[in-house]
Amino acid sequence: MKINLTIAENIANKCFEKAKKINIPMSIAIIGNDGQLVHFKRMDGALPISIELAPAKAYTAYSLRMTTEKLKTLTEPGEMLYGLDTSCENIVIFGGGIPIKFNNEVIGAIGVSGGSVQEDIKVAEFGVDFFVNRYTTN
């Protein structure tokens, strides 16, 4: 399975609905199985920095095959990936980026930015849950 434009738009729209429900203007980015941006959506009033952070969170989650929240722990001083965020462009080490998996294979990622880290995570998780429920179950 691949994240095509229709799937990416559907995921982003669900994230948008969740962000609207919690009243936080956000930017939402969906990366496909080639690591490239498939869809980007920005709510009115979203922080300007979220335009850069949402795709970077998605890219990070996709390229490292883990959540950006988990990466935070691995990049702390003394940990195995310490300094990664200063060694590579577009690496984000705080929550809001989550890989999208199908049959245990990473096929894309969601990046959400605009709220607190916990709000970003909540909206990204909502998008992943939507994908799983809509596209991977019978």
**Given this model, what pLDDT does residue 138 score?**
57
**Given this model, what pLDDT does residue 85 score?**
85
**Given this model, what pLDDT does residue 50 score?**
96
User: Long-range contact list for 69-72, CB < 8 A, 24+ apart?
Assistant: 69/94, 69/95, 69/96, 69/97, 69/117, 69/121
**Mean pLDDT value across residues 19-43:** 97
3-state helix, strand, coil in the chain (%, to 5): 45, 20, 35
The model's pTM is: 0.94
Which domains, from first to last, does the chain contain?
A: 5-136 (3.30.450.150)
